[in-house]
């Protein structure tokens, strides 16, 4: 899969648990850093500096308030960027 960004979602029913995390991508059989951050909350989006072709993704919680539940990772391919200014009429 070609990955340019990821979205993390943490179940909030028991409160926010994640303080910091890292995300790794498996590229060519080896794990490499993809992104890292503080807090996930209801939703967190990380955009890679350079998209990668990965055979797997994993999240490691490096600091938190107990074990997080319902942590979900979504991976997205990079999309086309706007090449010209545009306006929407209201």
Q: What is the pLDDT of residues 25-83, one digit of tens each?
A: 999 999 999 999 999 999 999 999 889 999 999 999 999 998 888 899 999 998 776 56
Residue 6's pLDDT is what? 96
Q: Tell me the pTM.
A: 0.84
Helix, strand, coil share (%) of the chain residues, nearest 5: 0, 55, 45
- The domain total for the chain is 1
Q: Is a pLDDT exceeding 90 seen at residue 85? A: no
Residue 57's pLDDT is what? 97
Give the residue among 72, 68, 57 at the shortest CA–CA distance from 24. Answer: 57
88 domain residue, yes or no: no
Give the residue among 54, 61, 50, 49 at the shortest CA–CA distance from 23. Answer: 61
Domain containing residue 38: CATH number: 2.60.120.260
90 domain residue, yes or no: no
Structural domain including 7 reads 2-76
Beta partners for residue 61, in sequence order: 21
89 domain residue, yes or no: no
């Amino acid at each position: 899969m070609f990955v340019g960004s990821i979205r993390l979602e943490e179940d909030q029913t028991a409160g926010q648990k994640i303080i910091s995390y890292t995300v790794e991508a498996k590229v060519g059989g080896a794990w490499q850093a993809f992104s890292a951050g503080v807090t996930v909350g209801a939703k967190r989006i990380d955009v890679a500096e350079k998209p990668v072709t990965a055979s797997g993704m994993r999240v490691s919680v490096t600091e938190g308030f107990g074990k997080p539940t319902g942590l979900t990772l979504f991976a997205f391919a990079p999309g086309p960027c706007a090449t010209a200014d545009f306006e929407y009429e209201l």
